[in-house]
Amino acid sequence: MPVDLDSMAENADRIWEESILPSLSEFIEIHALSPMFEPNWDELGELHATLDLFCSWLDNQGLQGMSYNVHRIANHSPVLLVTIEGTGSGEVLFYSHLDKQPSRPHLWSEGLHPLKAVRREPFLYGRGSVDDGYGGYLCVTAIRLLQEAGIPHPKATFLIETCEESGSYDLPPYLDQLTEDLGNPDLVVVLDSGGPSYEHIWVTEALRGLVAGNLSVRVSHEGVHSGMSGGAIPSSFRIQRMLLDRIENSQTGEVLIPEMHVDISDNIMQQATALAEVLGDELWSSLPTVETLESQSKDASEMLLDINWRPALSVIGADGIPSVQSAGNVLRTNTDLKISFRIPPGVNAEEVQDVVKHILEENPPYGAEVTYNPTEPADGFHAPPLHEGIASALESASLHLTGKPPMSTWIGGTIPFMAMIQNKYPNACFLCTGSSGPGNNAHGPDEKLHIPHSKRVNVALAAAIAALCE
């Protein structure tokens, strides 16, 4: 059955304005930190509150053949499973999450706050707006659009978790427990992505994996006057520098662990060149850098390879270091760093995690106490080609809605679910897309969702889903 994209776009606009945005605004007001950042998440009940809010919204959508259930395994953050019976052939599994990253309200712009939904066209501001509060709403609405248009749709299952920002370490037991409920999907749709512009519908073909941990260096049992001990007791900070030099070239940023690198094919090189031609200087200029900062990469194509197909190290946290204002002349007992590697698709995260631990703890400088405690690793993801019918429907919808064809891209971030579900359903197709785009600031201050682009993605997704029944 042909899809009337104009009519569907009108309906999408109505549903977003009347239903999605009000509920999403309530979601933004819930703190809902991911379990890794809030150990008392169960007692606080905020993760549960996000699921309750979403279920209340579901109840008002008028969907035929829908049922849902919140699943709770002891000591694991909850998940929501929604099922909508199909009116056509095929099965589709949708995925999104409702947990959030921490916020630093003082870094947000005037008039904005992470727990306050503020609409300033074309954006909706607030923590979790783009990562990934909107995802479940958009996915469910794709089926609603098809039902209201009388267009057959496949059986739809929605898995919404609350541990993604912690690496989805609570998810595997649910995947095992709910195997029968998840069915045998022909297509897996993940709405936790996007692309480098709002002018295209973007399809993510690859994601980097994640290896992270806490690196601790201890040199003494108590702080000592730096004038009395400096030069005798080696600084824990300097030892940290020495350890980091084992795993990264500080001059170039190159990760020095061979196991974290993959061969970059000629096809990927060609894709990078083609993407660079489309994006041009915007790839760099869209980043909120200081005016004088220069990129590590020679050109846009190399930058694309650096942030998608090469490993990168970031120091994302520190303990044992007082603030500048409160720092005294004391040689500190310890310096602890939280380090994070993004690793390219194809690298085994568990294996390289062990390699990192060995490199950092072996022969500690000056005999210092050095420990590396890894967090849960996550593999990267590389998607197989989309089913021809789905790809064709997505292209037609994109051309109609944006005047441009959809584009494939890669995302340097990590969605642990992708590798997990690909291992579970190796024959499924994957459509990883979303509303993320330049300046969305997911995880950072002034996080925001592009509303018009979200509506376009919603219609394009509905058209792609309908093609599964043809």
CATH number of the domain within which 422 lies: 3.40.630.10
270 assigned to some structural domain: no
Same domain, 97 and 149: yes
Same domain, 225 and 236: yes
Read off the pTM: 0.88
Same domain, 90 and 79: yes
Other CB atoms within 10 Å distance of the CB of residue 280: 10
279 assigned to some structural domain: no
268 assigned to some structural domain: no
- Residue ranges of the chain with per-residue pLDDT less than 50: none
Separation between Cα atoms, residue 322 and residue 331, nearest integer Å: 11
Same domain, 61 and 82: yes
pLDDT value of position 337: 98
445 assigned to some structural domain: yes
- Could you list the residue range(s) of the whole structural domain that residue 349 is in? 209-262+309-374
- Per-residue buried b or exposed e for 56-89, using 16+ beta carbons within 10 Å of the residue's own CB: ebbeebebeebebeebeeeebbbbbbbbbebbbe
Same domain, 192 and 66: yes
Asked if 206 and 411 count as a contact pair (C-beta separation under 8 A), the reply is: yes
pLDDT value of position 447: 98
Asked if 378 and 167 count as a contact pair (C-beta separation under 8 A), the reply is: yes
Tell me the two tokens of residue 340: 């994070």
- φ, ψ for residue 122, nearest 5 deg: -95, 20
Same domain, 179 and 237: no
How many domains are contained in the chain? Answer: 2
Same domain, 320 and 218: yes
Residue 118 is given by DSSP the state E
CB within 8 Å of 331: residues ≥ 6 apart: 219, 220, 223, 224, 225, 226, 229, 230, 233, 235
Same domain, 236 and 352: yes
Same domain, 362 and 402: no
Same domain, 47 and 107: yes
End-of-domain residue from the set 374, 401, 428: 374
Same domain, 357 and 407: no
pLDDT value of position 287: 84
